[in-house]
Amino acid sequence: MSGRGPTRPSTRTEQVYGRLRADILAGRFEPGAKLPFAELTERYGGSMGALREGLQRLVEQGLVVSEPQLGFRVAPLSVDDLRDLTNARCDIEGMALRHAITHGDIDWESEIVASFYALERTPLSAARSDDSTPVVDWAAAHQRFHVALIAACPNQRLRSIASSLRDAAELYRIWSARTTTPRDTVAEHRKIVDAALARDSDTAVRLLEQHLRTTERLLVDRVSEPDSALGR
């Protein structure tokens, strides 16, 4: 029998998951917005099963929340949660970075340099489709960079926790990027790279924490803006 068979369910799930995640990270759904099955099925296609599986994956990443009897919605934002999240990231990613600097080899160094090069070539100021929403390409490059920083950490569980916290922080990072406060993210990342490659763990961890807390500060400042969707 010739011809191509039907698309596997896993492939359809990946497609639906990928498109929905991209739209959430691009800011096309407001924090806390409901995600009705009927509208999502019409928008993304695929079966209800594929859509539900995709939503569950986003729940695990902290981008979507599931509420009994109410369905799914984009994760809401709050100052208290942001502060808890930032504190956890500073502790976990800082620890993982120290281990990575201790154990990293030339491959680790090469990926840090390559990921920073890609990130530097997609500056945040030019990565906005409407001068307010960062596009997914920049988010992917940013994630690759932060993954590369701690990739040489030999503790897989530590890396996994860091990844989970970073996923949960994506909505906050994107919302903070909508502020008009000037920020040189390229310089921030370059300083972290220089310290990591110099094997100066104390400086690298300090700079990483400053980077994460700058995002926190910008977002907290965003609360006072009239159109803020951030809850207290």
Measured CA to CA, the distance from residue 93 to residue 228 in angstroms comes to 29
Q: How far is CA 2 from the centre of its chain?
A: 42
Measured CA to CA, the distance from residue 79 to residue 217 in angstroms comes to 10
Please tell me the predicted confidence (pLDDT) of residue 2. Answer: 39
pLDDT digits (tens, 9 = 90+) for 32-78: 899 998 889 889 887 888 888 999 999 988 889 998 888 999 988 88
Highest mean pLDDT among 8-22, 100-114, 175-189: 100-114
Please tell me the predicted confidence (pLDDT) of residue 28. Answer: 84
Q: Are residues 137 and 95 in the same domain?
A: yes
Unique residue bearing structure tokens 């990443």? 61
Residue 3 maps to a domain: no
Task: With CA atoms as reference, report the closest residue to 167 among 80, 92, 108, 98.
Answer: 92
Q: Are residues 145 and 211 in the same domain?
A: yes
Q: Are residues 98 and 186 in the same domain?
A: yes
Q: Are residues 102 and 162 in the same domain?
A: yes
Domain end point (choices 51, 74, 97)? 74
- Kindly report the pTM of this predicted structure: 0.76
Please tell me the predicted confidence (pLDDT) of residue 227. Answer: 53
Please tell me the predicted confidence (pLDDT) of residue 23. Answer: 86
Residue 227 maps to a domain: no
Q: Are residues 52 and 159 in the same domain?
A: no
pLDDT digits (tens, 9 = 90+) for 95-154: 999 999 999 999 999 999 999 999 999 866 544 444 444 566 888 899 999 999 999 999
Measured CA to CA, the distance from residue 27 to residue 49 in angstroms comes to 25
Q: Are residues 62 and 91 in the same domain?
A: no
Q: What is the DSSP letter of 132?
A: S
Residue 231 maps to a domain: no
Q: Concatenated DSSP letters for 88-107?
A: HHHHHHHHHHHHHHHH--HH
Measured CA to CA, the distance from residue 162 to residue 45 in angstroms comes to 32
Q: Where are the beta strands (DSSP E) in the chain?
A: 64-67, 71-74
Q: Are residues 98 and 56 in the same domain?
A: no
> What's the number of domains the chain is made of?
2
**What CATH number does the domain containing 41 carry?**
1.10.10.10
Domain end point (choices 26, 54, 74)? 74
Determine which helix (DSSP H) or strand (DSSP E) holds 53, and give its type and residue range: helix 48-60
Measured CA to CA, the distance from residue 79 to residue 115 in angstroms comes to 30
- Asked if 85 and 169 touch (Cβ cutoff 8 Å), the reply is yes
Please tell me the predicted confidence (pLDDT) of residue 158. Answer: 97
Please tell me the predicted confidence (pLDDT) of residue 11. Answer: 81
Q: Quick check: helix, strand or coil at residue 134? A: strand
Q: Are residues 114 and 215 in the same domain?
A: yes
Position with higher pLDDT, 168 vs 35: 35
Q: Are residues 28 and 102 in the same domain?
A: no
Residue 1 maps to a domain: no
Domain end point (choices 74, 101, 125)? 74
Task: With CA atoms as reference, report the closest residue to 151 among 192, 112, 205.
Answer: 112
Position with higher pLDDT, 94 vs 79: 94
Q: Are residues 91 and 28 in the same domain?
A: no
Mean pLDDT value across the chain:
84
Residue 188 maps to a domain: yes
Q: Cβ–Cβ contacts within 10 Å for residue 163, how many? A: 18
Residue 90 is part of which domain span?
79-222
Residue 160 has pLDDT above 50, yes or no: yes
**What CATH number does the domain containing 163 carry?**
1.20.120.530
Highest mean pLDDT among 96-100, 129-133, 171-175, 219-223: 96-100
Task: With CA atoms as reference, report the closest residue to 212 among 149, 126, 118.
Answer: 149
Residue 232 has pLDDT above 80, yes or no: no
Measured CA to CA, the distance from residue 57 to residue 42 in angstroms comes to 20
